[in-house]
Amino acid sequence: MKRSVAAIALLVLLAAIVSPSFAKPRDPAHEITSQLICPCSCGEVVSGCICETGMSMKATVENGIKAGKSKKEIIGALVSQYGEVIRGAPKPEGFNLIVWIAPFAATLLGFTIAWLFLRRLVRRRGELVTAAAHGHATLGEPVPFPRGRALEQNQDSLRARAEAELRQLKQGREA
């Protein structure tokens, strides 16, 4: 038993050491182009874009890598040529911080409003049930049923009223 556990542990260790050597070598051009959006109407990520503009951008990236430029320099050159619109995500600085913060703030605000609304709804429902049970209203809320009448009587009167209205409708159609 101990030998099999040790053998499994040794295999896992060997797999962890050997697996990086079998991994694909990182393509620096793909790393850069996968972070950029094609500025033409296709709207594709540059690494998967096949339009003329996308191919031109890929060539610019590859030429920049061959020239020894850094990732920042290459992206900076493309941004100066095509504008900030090509960035997959805006830089988290200045006015662009709103793009990073606003979704989280809006979500938090929405959850807060929903929580307050539901809390108020539950409180009001509890107050109405309590008021109906005691036969009086609280906080100026109307009592759901008139005082001194049983629930069955209210249901019977509502049913009779509904049946009378239905009879009137049927008579109006027949006439």
- Residue 150: phi and psi, rounded to 5, are -80, 160
pLDDT grade for 135, boundaries at 50, 70 and 90: low
Residues facing residue 49 across a β-bridge = none
Reported confidence tier of residue 55, pLDDT bands at 50, 70, 90: confident
Is the pLDDT higher at 135 or at 115? Answer: 115
Domain segments of the chain as ranges: 27-89, 98-174
CATH of region 27-89, choose from 3.40.50.2300, 3.40.50.300, 3.30.1340.30, 1.10.8.640: 1.10.8.640
- Per-residue pLDDT at 31: 84
Q: Is the pLDDT of residue 21 over 60?
A: no
**Sorting pLDDT into bands at 50, 70 and 90, what band is 50?**
confident
- What is the spatial distance between Cα 141 and Cα 132, in angstroms, rounded to a whole number? 10
Stretch 90-99: mean pLDDT, rounded? 74
Q: What is the DSSP letter of 138?
A: S
* Average pLDDT, integer, range 155-174: 86
pLDDT value for 65: 87
Give CA separation, 172 vs 37, 83, 116, 164, 168, in Å.
67, 71, 48, 12, 6
Percentage of residues of the chain with pLDDT beyond 70: 71
Beta bridge partners of 45: 37
